Amino acid sequence: MISRVVLSHPSELSDWGRLQIDQTHFRAWLVRSRDSFSEGERFEEFVDTGCCGNTHYIEFVVERVDGSGSVSRETDIEYTERDGRDRGGGWAARSTTE
């Protein structure tokens, strides 16, 4: 079992963005939505903006994985910053028109 995962996010992530990824439900989503993590892996997740049909995507990089195998409810998610020049992520607006 993977006991701990350290994910980095851009150092320029706003206070609002940090608040969103620190929410219990967001950490739970990361664990429920993934079978495993691999060091060096990059992926984006969206955080709810709460209005306007927009989502904000944040790019994470897996910096460290303690343990092996699969993710479980007991897996701890920790965050660290990485150099802000590696921005990744961004805003996207949902649209019903093509």
pLDDT per position as a tens digit, 53-76:
667 789 999 999 999 999 999 999
- CATH dotted code for 2-93: 3.10.330.10
**Does residue 91 sit in helix, strand or coil?**
strand
What is the Cα 64 distance to its own chain's centre? 14
pLDDT digits (tens, 9 = 90+) for 8-34: 999 998 888 899 999 999 999 999 999
DSSP 8-state symbol, 26? H
Q: Where are the domains of the chain?
A: 2-93
